[in-house]
Structure 1
């Protein structure tokens, strides 16, 4: 069934000759009135524009929701990283103390170990295997 639309509004505007010829060609090709072609194109354009406006609003809502959802995880990861750093520092200083008490040059051992650790972190994963 075809939906009947009552047309009450009236718009008047001028277009350049090229646009006029293009609209008339579409009307002939589709066997429609020029007015119907113009109305359809306007409707599609308005719908597209409304959709674009809606996309912006949806994107804002999605971004805010993601921020809200991810915030607790970010905070938890930050806390875990802080704990890991404290544990790592504690272990390092305990090892330095033990090495020093055992008569080794703890600073030299630390420097060599650090250089090896940095080199290992800079290796590509495929090289490390």
Structure 2
């Protein structure tokens, strides 16, 4: 039996602002924007190339900004960082880590190259570069 992670709820304070951030600034695809009732709106967005989506707008039982460490794996972290920055996302510089998790001067160990950003509510995201074989 296959078990596939499909949707991760991300709590936000303003659905329209979050939809614009993820859809326009991060380039996520808006899969649907559904109003279930006058009080409930659900927006599902998917990062390009991902099989897993996020959902905003549904009552998720946690305060906005409390989700940390959502990870996006990319083949070229400099290009991904540049794309986000070019769309107005505040994203950290690329950080390389060496043995023991210590920040390295040059390229880090395999799978140890990161950049970080947050949505308008403070939900934290990590870009990680997938090493080429």
Task: Judge same fold: TM > 0.5, yes or no.
Answer: no
| Higher CA-based Rg | 1
Give TM-score, length-normalised by structure 2: 0.20
- Structure with more of its chain in strand, by fraction: 2
Give TM-score, length-normalised by structure 1: 0.20
- Structure with more of its chain in helix, by fraction: 1
Higher relative contact order (CA 8 A, sep 6+): 2
